[in-house]
Amino acid sequence: MERSKIRNIMKYEFLHGTTASQTARNINSVFCSSVTTQQTVSNWFAKFRTGNFDLANELRGRPELKVNNDELKVTVESDPSQNAYELSLKFGVSKQTILTHLAQIGQWLDKDELPKHTPKRNIHEKKLMVSVWCSSAGVIYYDFTKHGSSIIAEIYRNQLDEMMQKLKEKQPRLVNRSTPILLHNNARLHTAQMTMENLQEFKLELLHHPPYSSDLAPTDYHFFRNLDNFLIGKQFNSDNAVKLAFQEFIDSRPPGFYITGLNNQPLKWQKCYFFSFPFTRHNRNIVCKRCNTLRYDAPAGFGKSHIYSSFQVCEAFGRIAHALICSQVIERRKSVNVSPRAPSNKDEKDVQTDPNQNGIHYSNGQRIIAEKYAEPEVLDINALNNTKRTDREVLFFNRVPKVGSQTFMELLRRLSIRNMFSFNRDRVQRVETIRLAPIEQLQLARMVSSYSEPSVYVKHVCFTNFTEFHLPEPIYINIVRDPVERVISWYYYVRAPWYYVERKQIFPDLPLPDPNWLKKDFETCVLKGDRECRYLQGEIHEGIGDHRRQTLFFCGHSEKCTPFNTMGALERAKLAVEKHYAVVGVLEDMNTTLTVLENYIPRFFQGATDVYYDQVNSFTRINRNFFKPPVSEEVKDLVRGNFTREVEFYQFCKQRLYRQHRALKLTSTATPSTNNHL
C-alpha cells in the first residue's frame, strides 16, 4: 500500500484522538503486520502536534557544513600566524573540526590550479650575521660579524661597549636620568660572567627574555618581519650590497615605526601564554638587542634572500611583562636550603627597611620593583574592574588564612545588615580541605550559584572557576599579606592556647599535640632546619603547618599548584587574579584596600571605610594573637630568601591594587596600620 495513504490514515486517527500504539495496531490488523511500527506512528504524531500536517518526506542529505573551506582559506592566508584554537573561536566550532578542514584544504587543489614549486636553496650561499640594538627612538647601533667568526662573550662585550657609546650620543637622558632596560635572550654568551660584569658596569637593568612558542615563526617579531618583507625579491652579490640594503631599510622606516612595534609587542607575549590575557603598556625606555642572519646568494646563485633569526626576542614591556619577569630582578639570592648562618656584609647592605610598610624588610631589588611600577600613568578603570564582567551579584571570598580574613569576614557580616545582602560562610571544619576534587568543585559551584542575589559566601578554599562547570561566575575577592609575616603568624596561631580551647569545644575528641611542639619557637625551628620550617623550592608538604603557599589559594586545585615557590604555580595564580578577581586587597594597606573595594564593588562594600574605622579597635582585636613573640629580622630575611615567588606574587597583587586605586583619581590618606599582631 502506498505510504501516502498510510500517513493519511495516521492523520485521521490522530485527529480523532487515537493513541499512537492503538493506531499502529489498527493499521497492521487491517493491512499487514509489517506495514508500520508504533515508533513510526509516534514520530508522525509528534510532528502533527507541532501543527505541521505535511505528509511529504523530510529532505535528506549531508548536514550543512558550518565551516566553508574557501572562507577558512581566506582567513588563514590573511593571517598565517593564527593557530587552530584561534580559528575555532572565530568559526564557532571545535579545534578538531578546524584541523579536519585544514587537512582538506592542504590535500586538494582547484581543478586548474598547479602546486607551488619552491626552488631549492643554494647550499653554498654566503651568510652575514648582524646584531642590532634598538629602542623606541630607533636603531641605536648595529654590527656585522666578520666571516668565519661567531659572537662569543668577548665580542659581545665589545659590542656592548660600542652600543653604550652610541646610546650616550643619541639618548643621553636615558643614560643619565634613568636606568636603561636591556632585553636579550639567555644564550651562554649573554649569561657569561664577563657579560654580567659589563652589564653591572653600565648599570643596565636586565629584562628577562620573554617566552616563545614553537608555532611562532622566528621572523614574527616587529623589526625582522618588516626586514623580511623589504628584502623579498632582492639578490646580493657582495657583503657591501647586503649592508647597503640593510641601511636602506633602516632609513626607509617611517616616524613612529619603532614605538609602534614596541607598543604592539604585548600581543606576542599573549600568544605565548594564554588567550584573552589583559595587557597594559608601560611607558618605559627599553633597549632591545636583536641578532639576525642575513643570507644572500653567491654570484652564481639564484632565488630570493632569506632571513633566519638566531635569537627569539621581543620588545614588549608592560604590567604583565613585569609580572612574568619580576622574579629575575627579585631573586638576588637563589632559593637555597635554609640553614643557620650569620648575615654577611653584602646581605646587610642589600636589606633595607621601608618605613611605609610597617617595618617589613625587603631587599633593595624588591623595593626598586615596587617603586618602578608605581609610576603615574593613564589608567582605564573599566579595564581594571572585573566586577562588570561577572554574571550575578554573588560575592565569593575564598579567604586566605592569616591575612586578616576574619576581620574582613566580620566587616562583611556587618555590611550585610547595612547594605541588605545575604551573608553566608562555611562551617568550621575538623580538617580544612582547600584543594577539592572535580566533583567537590562542582558541588561548591552549584551551592554558591544557588544563592539568591545579592549574597556573600566565605570559605577557605582554592580558586574555583565556575565557568568550567558552565555556571555563572561570581564576584571574586581575596586579601594577601607579606608572605613571611603571614607564615610566622600561622606558625604561632596553631600553637596559641585559645586556638586549641576553641577546637576542643567544637571537636571534643580532638587529640592535643605534643607539648614540645607547642613550645618550639619559630627562630629555633628555622635555624635547626626542622621540616616544618624548611622551605625548599618544589617541595610538597601537606599538613597543619604547611600554609606557606599563599599562591595556592589563587592558583587553583591542580596538582601543578602544590609544589612550593615554583614558577608554574606563580603564573597560574597571576592569571587567575588578572582574569577573575575584582579586587585582591593588601592587609598592610587597609585604607587603600577599603577605598578600592568601596568603589569597585559598591553593592557590597558601600560605607565599608566608615564601618571599619568607626569600630577600628574591635576589628583589629579579631583573631589577634597576643602570644606571638617577635622574630628577628635576620631570621625573617633568611626565610625570605626562599619565598622569592611568593614575594613576587604579593608584590604583583600590591601593584595591581595601587593601579586600581590610581585609576580612581583619589588620594589615599595615611591611616596608621593596626594589624601587627594578626
358-402 pLDDT, tens digit each: 333 434 434 443 444 444 454 667 778 888 888 899 999 999 998
Q: Give 378: exposed, middle or buried? Use CB within 10 Å, 0-12, 13-18, 19+.
A: exposed
Verify that 259 and 193 share a domain, yes or no: yes
Work out the mean pLDDT of the chain and round it to a whole number: 75
Q: Angle of helix 644-663 relative to helix 567-580, nearest 10 degrees?
A: 20
Looking at 79-152, list the stretches that DSSP marks H as alpha helix, in order from N- to C-terminal side.
84-91, 95-107
Specify the range with the lowest mean pLDDT, choosing from 45-59, 156-170, 269-283: 269-283
The one-letter amino acid at 205: E
Is 117 considered catalytic here?
Answer: no
- Alpha-carbon distances of 29 from 33, 36, 37, rounded to whole Å: 6, 11, 12
Which range, 257-271, 281-295, 471-485, has the best average confidence (pLDDT)? Answer: 471-485
Specify the range with the lowest mean pLDDT, choosing from 361-375, 424-438, 541-555: 361-375
pLDDT above 50 for 162: yes
Verify that 214 and 75 share a domain, yes or no: no
Q: Which residue has the cell 588578572?
A: 578
Verify that 147 and 90 share a domain, yes or no: no
pLDDT of residue 305: 27
Residue 33 belongs to some domain of the structure: yes
299-332 pLDDT, tens digit each: 332 222 222 222 222 223 333 333 333 333 333 3
Q: How would residue 125 be classed by pLDDT, with cut points 50, 70 and 90?
A: low
Verify that 31 and 153 share a domain, yes or no: no
Tally of helices (H runs) and strands (E runs) in the chain = 32, 13
Verify that 100 and 237 share a domain, yes or no: no
pLDDT above 70 for 270: no
Active-site entry in 460, 470, 547, 677: 460
Residue 290 belongs to some domain of the structure: no
Mean pLDDT along residues 355-359: 39
Q: Give 56: exposed, middle or buried? Use CB within 10 Å, 0-12, 13-18, 19+.
A: exposed
pLDDT of residue 189: 75
CATH number, domain containing residue 25: 1.10.10
Residue 114 belongs to some domain of the structure: no
Partners of 396 in beta bridges: 457, 476
Residue 522 belongs to some domain of the structure: yes
Verify that 81 and 181 share a domain, yes or no: no
Verify that 456 and 597 share a domain, yes or no: yes
Residues 6+ apart with CB under 8 A from 19: none
Residue 523 · residue 428 · CB < 8 Å: no
Which secondary structure element, helix H or strand E, spans residue 143, and what is its range?
Answer: strand 138-144
Mean pLDDT along residues 282-286: 38
Q: Cell numbers at residue 503, please?
A: 577546637
pLDDT above 90 for 74: no
- Domain that residue 73 falls in: 69-104
Q: Which long-range contacts (CB under 8 A, 24 or more apart) does 302-305 make?
A: 302/119, 302/122, 302/235, 303/119, 303/121, 303/122, 303/235, 304/231, 304/232, 304/233, 304/234, 304/235, 305/231, 305/232, 305/234, 305/235, 305/236
Bigger pLDDT: 2 vs 287: 2
pLDDT above 50 for 478: yes
Residues 6+ apart with CB under 8 A from 323: 574, 652
Overall number of domains in the chain: 4
Mean pLDDT along residues 558-581: 92
Whether the full predicted model's pTM is greater than 0.85, yes or no, is no
pLDDT above 70 for 211: no
pLDDT above 60 for 295: no
Q: How would residue 498 be classed by pLDDT, with cut points 50, 70 and 90?
A: low
CA 162 to chain CA centroid, nearest Å: 38
Verify that 100 and 31 share a domain, yes or no: no
Verify that 93 and 40 share a domain, yes or no: no
Q: Which residue has the cell 639576525?
A: 292
CATH number, domain containing residue 481: 3.40.50.300
Residue 582 · residue 600 · CB < 8 Å: yes
Mean pLDDT along residues 11-33: 85
Verify that 167 and 213 share a domain, yes or no: yes
Partners of 318 in beta bridges: 281
Verify that 467 and 572 share a domain, yes or no: yes
pLDDT of residue 268: 60
Q: How would residue 267 be classed by pLDDT, with cut points 50, 70 and 90?
A: low
Which range, 46-60, 99-113, 208-222, 475-489, has the best average confidence (pLDDT)? Answer: 475-489
Q: Which of 652, 660, 667, 585 is nearest to 382 (CA)?
A: 660
Residue 338 belongs to some domain of the structure: no
Q: Which of 338, 339, 354 is nearest to 548 (CA)?
A: 338
Residue 394 belongs to some domain of the structure: yes
pLDDT above 80 for 568: yes
**How much of the chain, in percent, has pLDDT values that exceed 90?**
24
Bigger pLDDT: 275 vs 422: 422
Q: Which of 115, 147, 330, 134 is nearest to 239 (CA)?
A: 147
Mean pLDDT along residues 242-253: 90
CATH number, domain containing residue 149: 3.30.420.10
Find the radius of gyration of the CA atoms of the chain: 33
What would the DSSP string read from start to end of 407-427? HHHHHHHHHHHHHT-EEEEPP
Which range, 110-124, 185-199, 599-613, has the best average confidence (pLDDT)? Answer: 599-613
pLDDT of residue 178: 62
Residues 6+ apart with CB under 8 A from 126: 147, 239, 295, 296, 297, 298
Q: Which of 50, 17, 23, 45 is nearest to 36 (CA)?
A: 23
Residue 454 belongs to some domain of the structure: yes
- Distance (Å, whole) CA 362 – CA 443: 41
Q: How would residue 591 be classed by pLDDT, with cut points 50, 70 and 90?
A: very high
Residues 6+ apart with CB under 8 A from 248: none
pLDDT of residue 330: 33
Bigger pLDDT: 118 vs 478: 478
Bigger pLDDT: 204 vs 303: 204
Verify that 529 and 633 share a domain, yes or no: yes
